[in-house]
Amino acid sequence: MRRANSTMRRLLAIGAASAVAVGLAACSGGGGGSDENTVVWSTWGTPEELTRFEEFNAQFMERHPDIKVELQPVASYGDYHSKLLAQLTSGTAPDVFYIGDDKIGQFVDAKVLMPLADLMESDASQTKPDDFFPGLFGAAEQDGEYYAAPNDSNPDVLWYDKQALAAAGITEDPATLAENGEWTTEKYLEMNDKLAAAGLVGSMFWNYWATHYSWISSQGGTAYDDSGAFVGNADATTVGAVDTLGEYFQDGTFVVADTMPEGAGADSVFVTHQAGFFSQGRYTIGTVTSAGEQDSYDIVRWPTPDGQAAPTGVATSYLAINGKTKATDAAFTFWTEFLSAEGQVFRLQGGGNAVPSIKGADEVVLEDGYPAHAQTFLDMRDIGFEDYAAEAVVPGLSTDVSDLFLKLYEGKADAQGTLDAVGDLVAEKSGE
């Protein structure tokens, strides 16, 4: 599932975030299918994704002729959660539905999702908790209970353009450096400096949690401690890392993809060889392939001070079951088969746009041998992390934190002030 960019997230947060925690807590009724053998499920997605989902539905019903499955698609991520909120409030919500990673904590906190731990451990399950990569559950796991599971994932790798690097006089290959343990922060920033000197964009990033927290983590910093408290403003390594991040945005070497002008957006800039690096997921294969430029691109993990791999952000979306569904058994059968290794292979094969979230399905990432270092997707997923639960459970908090980082990138704040403001905001919004 392609990650919605942070502009979509901001629109969603403005329209519905504050209502989620309040509105869902008051909802009642069931919804979904008309009987215990009908499963209605909902998601957002591109036409291509929705076609694949309908194909999955058809095969599922062939295997289970006693169960009817109906898909209720919503075209836009920006409209999706507000519509789901209205359905949950009115008791007409689907039996099974996707939830974005920036919203999952709020839906869990509202207690409208079916607890799944016992079902996942049952004989009927094709998706045991241990089958999933643990860093991907994020706020979907609470006190040992699971309220949803990641349907797939997208590590934010650094895509790079060999033509742009060559134009800047860069002869070393980032992926080769990474394989040799030499992909250091110093080397990465040196390449960005050369790109900027050549009149090119160094790196493009979306302004959302995975950008700032991936940078902090890859540079050895700590944003949140094990108790869930924000400590980044008191950690010297984190402050130093964020200071460097801010400097590179402020001088234009790094660019915020969200704010690029219409007609000259990040995708366009990248496929016309005007930028060296672009932080995105596996869905970028479609972008470079449709432009006929795929041979120019490869991927690499985020750089680190010592050149060794470090955990970075992995965007996901989740599949949950309505806590008031009338079709518990049928809904779980659909849920577990959709998320199973077999289900993920079916959905993601043939140049799919995401990385499996479950063990046993990695073949879909490596099947076409593209990009050359496709294994990087899997390696980053294996050690990566989802958005911090402390932010994911508070409506709009993750977006508000990103707004504070945007001020840093625009030169309106410094690193220490930004992190202090984040700490104060987290404490205020979480009631600490």
Q: How many alpha carbons lie under 13 Å from residue 109 in its C-beta half-sphere?
A: 18
Paired residues of 358 in beta bridges: 132
pLDDT digit string (tens) for 90-120?
999 999 999 999 889 889 988 999 999 999 9
Strands (E), 209-267: 254-256
pLDDT digits (tens, 9 = 90+) for 395-413: 889 999 999 999 999 999 9
Q: What pLDDT sits at residue 19?
A: 41
Out of 48-62, 76-90, 184-198, the most confident range is: 184-198
Distance between CA atoms of residues 256 and 247, nearest Å: 13
Mean pLDDT of the chain: 91
Q: If pLDDT is split at 50, 70 and 90, which confidence band does 11 have? A: very low
Q: How confident is the model at residue 150 (pLDDT cuts 50, 70, 90)?
A: very high
Structure tokens at 230: 């924000």
- The mean per-residue pLDDT over the stretch 29-40 comes to 80
d(CA 413, CA 397) in angstroms, rounded, equals 19
To 10 degrees, the CA torsion angle through 237, 226, 154, 260?
A: -50
For residue 2, the model assigns a pLDDT of 47
**Bridge partners, residue 304, by sequence:** 184
For the stretch 234-279, pLDDT in tens is: 999 999 999 999 999 999 999 999 999 988 899 999 999 999 999 9
**Residue of 364, 368, 363, 337 lying closest to 349 (CA atoms):** 364
Q: Is domain 157-312+396-429 in CATH 3.40.190.10, yes or no?
A: yes
Residue 427 has, within 13 A of its CA and on its CB side, a CA count of 10
Beta carbons of 270 and 158 less than 8 angstroms apart: no
Cα angle vertex 56, ends 103, 337, to 5°?
Answer: 70
Torsion angle, alpha carbons of 298, 301, 304, 306, to 10 = -80
The pLDDT of residue 77 is 86
pLDDT band at 432 (very low <50, low <70, confident <90, very high): low
- CA–CA distance, 272 with 289 (Å, rounded to integer): 13
Instruction: Check residue 4 and give its pLDDT.
Output: 52
Predicted pLDDT of residue 46: 83
The separation between the first and the last C-alpha atoms of the chain, rounded to the nearest angstrom, is 34
CATH of domain 6-154+317-386: 3.40.190.10
Stated pTM of the model: 0.90
Amino acid 297: pLDDT = 98
Task: Please check the confidence at residue 32 and state whether its pLDDT lies above 80.
Answer: no
For residue 315, list its beta bridge partners.
154
Decide the pairing of beta strands 145-146 and 314-321. Answer: unpaired
> Which amino acid does the sequence have at 171?
T
**In the prediction, which pLDDT does 262 show?**
80
Q: Give the pLDDT confidence score for residue 351 in this predicted structure.
A: 67
Q: Report whether pLDDT(29) > 60.
A: no
Average confidence (pLDDT) over 62-90:
92
Q: What is the pLDDT of residue 16?
A: 39
Closest by CA position to 404, among listed 388, 387, 415, 418: 418
**Which amino acid is residue 47, in one-letter code?**
P
The dihedral through the CA atoms of 397, 403, 407, 409 has a sign that is positive
Please list, residue by residue across 52-74, b when 16 or more beta carbons sit within 10 angstroms of its beta carbon and e when fewer do.
bbeebbeebeeebeebbbebeeb
Peptide bond preceding 371 in cis form (omega within 30 of 0): yes
Domain boundary assignment for the chain: 6-154+317-386, 157-312+396-429
One fold for both 6-154+317-386 and 157-312+396-429? yes
